[in-house]
Amino acid sequence: MSTEEQLALAVEALSEHVVLFDADDRVVLANKVWRELNKEVAEFTKPGTRFEDHLRALTEKGLVPEASGREEEWLRERMESHLNPSGPFELARQDGRTVRISEQRLPNGGIILIISDITESKRADQALRESEERFRAVVNNSPAKMHIKDAQGRYVLINPLAAELFGFTEAEARGKTTHDVFPNELADVYVAHDQGVLDSGKAVEQEEEWHREDGIHTFLTVKFPILNFAGEIIGTGAIGTDITDRKRAEESLQKSEKILQLRVTDLEAAQRRLKEQETNLIHMAEDLKVARDQAESADRTKSEFLATMSHELRTPLNAILGFSEVIQTETFGPVGSVRYRDYATDIHSSGQHLLELINDILDLSKVEAGMDELHEEDVEIPDIASAVLSLVQQRAEKQGVALIWKLQDRTPAVRADPRKLKQILVNLLSNAIKFTDTGGKVTLRISYKGDSGYMFQVLDTGIGIAPDDIPKALSQFGQVDSAISRRHDGTGLGLPLTKALVELHGGSLDLESTVGVGTTVTVCIPAERTVDPTCNPKTAATSGRK
């Protein structure tokens, strides 16, 4: 076998796309993968074909997006770089792939061209950048102070709040140690905490005091180990929550308790001294009892909420901690076991559930604080209804609940915040599905009247609510059954949040229910939000099952 034949076989076996041109810039040798890459212009890949003719065929076929509209100019630029190669460059193809092209002039005057498909690498880089941007957005906008150090105690990340407290920008602090940032006495304490995390592999927490413009603030800081894929500790992280208000409330409560005790003592002394004022004291005691009952009721509501949140947050967190420990200790064998993939799914599900709870709390807080704004646009109701039904369809199927929707024909668009309108309907449908047993049904009914506007109704055949319990169901954190023994998960935020979002649109929410029969929730959006009373003819009457 000749050297040329051996070379041809070697080139043919390469995974990269390889083509060899002679001194006249004609194809001498090309491997199979290059021919397959250019199968749309196969006749211009054969030996003897000029490279310029090959390029022109590609542009005529529209296979080079960046040449669109400037074909001749692009051809001149590409031929210049081809005949005078100076280094690899990237090129996007019409089929969505990205390739890296390397060209080199040979001693005989020919040119060798090598093309590598870097599509997956580019996608991975893009995914990594997006992930880093999301992480950075969370860190930079967090109300907690956050920082990360490497195993040598050097700062690799601090968020804006931490930078404010430290008195350094992130750029200034990055790469520095604790002793570079803080006085020695304070730095020794922080380093000891870090070392405790590194030695034990467990999280530790402590209270820290920081000076801010409005005075001294107390932060509860949790420091925790950061592990690599091998389970080795590669650094420490810290998240500090401002608990100043809580501390002040505790101090105020202690002062109030002391004052109350003094008052009780004074009352007892007065009772011993002034028996004749017994009647007045009885009335006073009754007033105090009412105040006490009100305080106890408020305290019970708080306690029930805290118990609910404890239950809701602890359940997913226990799953995260438990399954993470199984993976870390490789209980079922080296990483790669199918069990680990299942556990990873459970971890993701639990984290998603926790995120949904936190989002509900944040959304309601924003509405109450008057910080939430409507981002209004013209919304087509059939589009919103279809999107919402698609979101809850899987849950309905899983629970064995029939999902039915009815939409009046020729409905006009409405001026609203599409995300919040979608959130209203998703909350109501999800709630209805959750409290409807297998075999039941949930109906979404949408109608419009010119004088009153839109009416959205969600009807279910679920467990229902007693009339006396409806105000509690619509109150913040209110739950009809016991927070500990109830059968269904939830924080009691769904209906109050939905009601707040409806009222933000100037609408109203009404709830009617019968125990054991079902519940109907009616949302009305006022007529003044209608974009055009002349209905869009494309929105024909729609109904059916999803």
Query: CB atoms < 10 A from the CB of 210, how many?
Result: 18
More confident residue, 410 or 318: 410
Q: Look up the CATH number of domain 377-545.
A: 3.30.565.10
CA distance 45 to 43: 6
CA distance 517 to 437: 11
User: Which residue, among 446, 449, 407, has the nearest Cα to 424 in the 3D structure?
Assistant: 446
φ and ψ at residue 70, rounded to 5 degrees: -145, 45
Pick the CATH number of 274-368 from 3.40.50.300, 1.20.140.10, 2.40.10.230, 1.10.287.130: 1.10.287.130
φ and ψ at residue 29, rounded to 5 degrees: -150, 135
Q: How confident is the model at residue 70 (pLDDT cuts 50, 70, 90)?
A: very high
Q: How much is the CA Rg of the chain, to the nearest whole Å?
A: 34
Asked if the model's pLDDT at residue 401 lies above 90, the reply is yes
SS3 241: strand
Position 343 scores a pLDDT of 66
Tokens (6 digits) for 533: 């009373």
Highest mean pLDDT among 81-95, 333-347, 484-498: 81-95
Tokens 């924003």 label which residue?
Answer: 366
φ and ψ at residue 508, rounded to 5 degrees: -140, 155
Q: What is the mean pLDDT of residues 332-346?
A: 65
Average pLDDT of the chain to the nearest whole number: 81
| Same fold? 3-122, 274-368 | no
Spans of all domains in the chain: 3-122, 142-242, 274-368, 377-545
Residues 6+ apart with CB under 8 A from 191: 153, 178, 179
Q: Against a cut of 0.85, is the pTM above it?
A: no
Position 368 scores a pLDDT of 59
More confident residue, 169 or 302: 169
CA distance 455 to 406: 12
CA distance 428 to 452: 21
User: Which residue, among 179, 143, 183, 187, has the nearest Cα to 162 in the 3D structure?
Assistant: 143
Tokens (6 digits) for 235: 């650094």
Q: What is the mean pLDDT of residues 350-377?
A: 63
Q: Which CATH architecture has domain 3-122?
A: 2-Layer Sandwich (3.30)
Q: What is the mean pLDDT of residues 324-348?
A: 65
Asked if the model's pLDDT at residue 6 lies above 70, the reply is no
Q: In sequence order, which ranges of 142-177 are alpha helices (DSSP H)?
A: 160-166, 170-173
Q: In sequence order, which ranges of 19-159 are alpha helices (DSSP H)?
A: 32-37, 51-60, 71-83, 119-141
Asked if the model's pLDDT at residue 357 lies above 50, the reply is yes
Position 447 scores a pLDDT of 92
Q: How confident is the model at residue 448 (pLDDT cuts 50, 70, 90)?
A: very high
Tokens (6 digits) for 382: 């059939």
pLDDT digits (tens, 9 = 90+) for 217-263: 888 889 999 888 888 898 898 898 888 888 888 888 888 888 888 88
pLDDT digits (tens, 9 = 90+) for 510-535: 999 999 999 999 999 999 999 875 55
For residue 341, is it left (φ>0), alpha (ψ between -120 and 50) or beta? alpha
Position 307 scores a pLDDT of 45
**pLDDT > 90 in the chain, percent:** 23
Asked if the model's pLDDT at residue 315 lies above 70, the reply is no
Asked if the model's pLDDT at residue 461 lies above 90, the reply is yes
Q: What is the mean pLDDT of residues 323-337?
A: 66
CA distance 224 to 227: 10
Highest mean pLDDT among 151-160, 170-179, 284-293, 432-441: 432-441
Determine the number of helices (DSSP H) and then strands (DSSP E) in the chain: 16, 18
Asked if the model's pLDDT at residue 538 lies above 60, the reply is no
Asked if the model's pLDDT at residue 349 lies above 70, the reply is no
Asked if the model's pLDDT at residue 121 lies above 90, the reply is no
CA distance 57 to 345: 48
User: Which residue, among 12, 51, 4, has the nearest Cα to 32 in the 3D structure?
Assistant: 12
Q: Which CATH architecture has domain 142-242?
A: 2-Layer Sandwich (3.30)
Position 485 scores a pLDDT of 36
- Sequence letter at residue 360: D
